[in-house]
Structure formats: structure tokens, C-alpha cells
Amino acid sequence: MTTATTFTELALIQPLLARLTELEYQQPTPIQAQVIPSVLAGRDVIAGANTGSGKTAAFALPLLQDLYTQKQSAKSHNSKGNYVSGLILVPTRELAKQVADSIKSYAVHFNGAIKTVAVFGGVSANTQMLALRGGTDILVATPGRLLDLISSNAIKLNKVKTLVLDEADRMLSLGFTEELSELLGQLPAQKQTMLFSATFPEEVQALTQELLNDPVEVQLQSDDASTVVQRVFNVNKGEKTAVLAHLIKEHQWRQALVFVNAKNSCEHLADKLYKRGIEAEVFHGDKGQGYRTRILDAFKSGEIDVLIATDIAARGLDIEKLPVVINFDLPRSPSDYIHRIGRSGRAGEVGLALSLIDYEDFHHFKVIEKKNKIRLEREQVKGFELDETITEEMLAASKPVAKPAGTGKKKRKKQMQQKSDIWLKH
């Protein structure tokens, strides 16, 4: 099958095409080129895709098109009661809001014909119940809150025609397995299903088997991390904060997203940076939903320069043109490394991901490299070179392990490296 290179070739309808032009989407991303025709043809789809690949539009555009054309031809009989036609399940509150906002944006030329509601925990259910009155065409939901709303009769799933599971791996790893099976049990057997997942561990495969009917499988050749230049710096124990402050001051990135592993580490690091003259905000799971939304909006709009976050920010968040992601602490799981660095270099932009590792991280970073099939030269930051307490043995543990990427990718990587040198001279 040849893949389409324009949105017109994908047979999208005029109101959507007009919107894509306004949004300056010049051509479909690979995932869109493959997913959209299959969904429009009524097939189930399973796709390996990270955020940054354009996966939201890949499921949202054909879903909107189907619902809109059905409504236009009055084929839809679901226009009364607390029905839902298209259900999108997502793992986090932020993603629910983000996906719903994208859908509403894609649908602006439908003149209100398609109603989209987002429901998620951490905020009062009353407003969401009100929004669901009379039903909704599209519902974007986190599993827990959706079950609550079902039990209070605010919504029913028996009219769902299309189901999207977004970030299925994340949903299961966050412990939503039971909620999911309860929800899936309430859906009609006859429906179209799309499943998006960055990784395919056993639980996701089991879900796929259970849920999808002869699906079209879409697996991108390269993950979106390939648009991110990755660099790793050996740092002395106890000097990470100084190195981070130095890098931020020296490079004057427009914005930086810094990952740590614990909620209280966010505050600690923010305090330490403040003492070094750098203002940073924090983003983690102990903060209320109102705060999280405000901080995220402020970061997205560029009002915040440095955001220190736990892995709650690693998946799904779409921050336009984020120049750099910094791993102050390494993520525990190799797949989280990919998710974290994927926050930079979105939608065709070249991004930069830096990891600061001291000798206690050496071994773990090797594991991350091996699992993700990457190999990075260890570098040092000028003025913060490793001291003599680092033995040969420790350094040996720090050497990269996996084979370098194939020669085909090498040239592109080199070009990206040159681009990143513009931002990172040391």
C-alpha cells in the first residue's frame, strides 16, 4: 500500500481540511498516513506510537469525520439521552484535557455539530455531569472518573461505536487494569476499536487479543526519539545541581523540562536552583488538579522557563517546540527514558535530551541504553570534569554498551548532532 503524502489524498472532508490548513499541518505524519485510511475503511487498528508522532490527529480526524458525516446524513439515532458515540480512554488527567482540546480544535468548522467532553478525576464531578447532560458525541475519559460517572447514571456506554485506547501501556502500568475490564464489559460487542501504545508488554498484547478484531497493525519504522539528539554527561556525585545551573545559565534555552524521580525532589531542586539565581516551577502528583493545569498552561505558553517534574509529565504532554529535556535523575524504567526525551523534538522539530549521571547511575544508564538500543558517548561538562575519586573501574561501568545505530541512520544523526551543537556548546 502506498501511503498518502497529503491530507486531501486521505479523503478527509472539507471542514477538516480547512482546519488543518489553518493549523499549518502541511502533510500527514507517517502514523496519520497509515491510520486514517484504515479507520475510515472501518477497520480496527493497533498502532505503536508515542506522543509527538501525531497520533491524536490520527484517531481524532477519522473519528470526527465519521461522526459528522453520520450526523449529516441523519444516520445517527443516538441523539438523545446520556449516550456516547466515540469513547477515548486515556491514562492521565492532563492527557484527557489535551486530547479533548485537540479534538475541539479540529472540529471548529463543524459549527458545534459534534460535542466533545473530557472527564477526569481531581476536580468536582458536578460540572462534568452537567456537561454530559443530553449525552455527548465524543467523550475523553480517565477510567476511574468514567466509572464513577457511570455509577451515578451520568453516562452510559451501550451506544459506543468507536473506542480508542490511548497510551494503553501507560493505562495498564498505572494500575487501571480492573477499571478497564469493567469499562470494556459495558461496551457493545459491535464497535470499531483503535489501540495506541508506545510499548507492547504482555498485558497490552493480551488486551489487544481480547479487544481487536482482525486489526490493521501500524508500527513506525523509527520511534519519535530519533528526532531528539541525546547526550549524556558524567558528573561528580554532589555536583549535579551545580552542573544543571551552569548548563541552564550558559545555554539560555528558551525553556527546559527537568525530570526528577520523587515528588519532594522537585521542591528541593527548585529551592537549590533558586539559591543559584534560577527560578523554576514544580509539577508532580501531590499538586492539586487546578495547580497542575495552571502550571502546565503557563509552561506551554512560555511564562515558565524551567519546570521540574516527576514522570507524571513524561507521557503524553505536548509542549510545543520544547528545546531541551534534562534527566537530573534517571528514570527507573528504560521505556520511561524514551517517553521523557520524547517531550522534546516534537512534530518534526529537532530536540535535545541531556542526562546527568554520577557514578551511582553509570550502570543503570547502561541498562537504559541496552534496552533502547542506543549508544551514547560519555561527555563531561567543562569546568566540572570528573575528579580522581572516580576509579577506572567506575568509568568502565560507564562505557556505552549497545552497538551504534545502523549506517543509514548515522548521517541523519550526525546532521541532528550538528544542529544540537548550536544549542549546546561546551
Is residue 337 within 8 Å of residue 361, measured between CB atoms?
A: no
3-class secondary-structure state, position 232: strand
- Ranges within 248-277 binding ligand AMP (CB under 6 A): none
| Binding-site member from 123, 150, 347, 390 for ligand AMP (CB under 6 A) | 347
| Binding-site member from 169, 318, 358, 361 for ligand AMP (CB under 6 A) | 318
How near is the Cβ of 62 to ligand AMP at its closest, in Å? 13
For residues 313 and 357, which CB has a smaller minimum distance to ligand AMP in the complex? 313
Instruction: Please state the separation of Cα 82 from the chain's center in Å.
Output: 30
| Binding-site member from 17, 33, 35, 57 for ligand AMP (CB under 6 A) | 57
How near is the Cβ of 158 to ligand AMP at its closest, in Å? 29
106 binds ligand AMP (CB under 6 A): no
| Binding-site member from 29, 85, 136, 335 for ligand AMP (CB under 6 A) | 29
How near is the Cβ of 263 to ligand AMP at its closest, in Å? 25
Amino acid (one-letter) located at 413 = K
Which residue matches cell numbers 545541581? 241
167 binds ligand AMP (CB under 6 A): no
d(CA 358, CA 397): 11
DSSP per residue over 164-205, as a string?
A: EE-SHHHHHHTT-HHHHHHHHHTS-SS-EEEEEES---HHHH
CB atoms within 10 A of CB 29: 20
| Binding-site member from 345, 346, 356, 384 for ligand AMP (CB under 6 A) | 346
Mention every residue, 6+ apart, whose C-beta is less than 8 A from residue 160.
Answer: 84, 85, 86, 87, 187, 188, 191
How near is the Cβ of 409 to ligand AMP at its closest, in Å? 21
Stretch that binds ligand AMP, among 45-53, 244-252, 284-292, 323-331 (CB under 6 A): 45-53
25 binds ligand AMP (CB under 6 A): yes
- Alpha-carbon separation of residue 283 from 11, 120, 296 (angstroms): 41, 18, 8
Site residues for ligand AMP per CB under 6 A: 25, 28-29, 32, 51-57, 318, 320, 346-347
